[in-house]
Amino acid sequence: MPPFSTLIATTVEDPAFGPVRIRVDGDEGIAEVTGDGIPPAVLRRALKTLPRTSVPIGTRDAAALTLTIGGAPAGLSPGKGRFTRRSYAVVATYERHTYRLVPRGDVFSRLTLDGTPLGDFTSPGHGHPGRATWKPRAKVLPQDAAIGYVLAAAFGTGAETPSGGLGDVIGSVLDVFS
């Protein structure tokens, strides 16, 4: 997987909540999401943690991360990110609810609230987060959107399957010998 950009600042137009400003600084270890229609969400990496370029926020170690929504603390449990798409899932707990962002393809991830799908987050590439596509019948609240955007920005969206990554490796090896 190629490294993510270390600094991203963008605004996406959310279909339900209007403009959402997203800032990710991998060197500083912070992902921030703000907007007039959502509470601010901040995910911060501990300063002494050596950043990994394969994760926008720089780590998947829950002990090195803090998440706040509207200034209130939220729980966070990122998966290890190994061989399956599900291993890249990130779980956040806020106000006695469980949010889960799970890769569902190479470039998009699904956000659920207590097991109910809310919507999908995509990336247009190069680590830049895209806007959400909310499920038509989902009753998405502002804090749901803030949590989804900050998780997608901090950890990225989508994940290759092991066979897809293996195909890239085999293709690279064959290119060397051709």
β-strands 38-45, 65-69: how paired? antiparallel
- Give the burial class of 155: count Cβ atoms within 10 A of its Cβ; 0-12 exposed, 13-18 middle, 19 or more buried: buried
Q: What is the DSSP letter of 46?
A: -
Per-residue pLDDT reduced to its tens digit, 94-141:
999 999 999 887 778 999 999 999 999 987 765 567 889 999 999 999
Residue 161 scores a pLDDT above 80: no
Q: 120: which strand partners?
A: 110, 133
**What are 78's two structure tokens?**
């990122």
Residue 39 has a pLDDT of 98
C-alpha span between 163 and 49 (Å, rounded): 31
What is the chain's Cα-based Rg? 16
In three-state secondary structure terms, 97 is: strand
Partners of 109 in the β-ladder: 103, 121
pLDDT band at 53, cuts 50/70/90?
low
Predicted pLDDT at 108 = 84
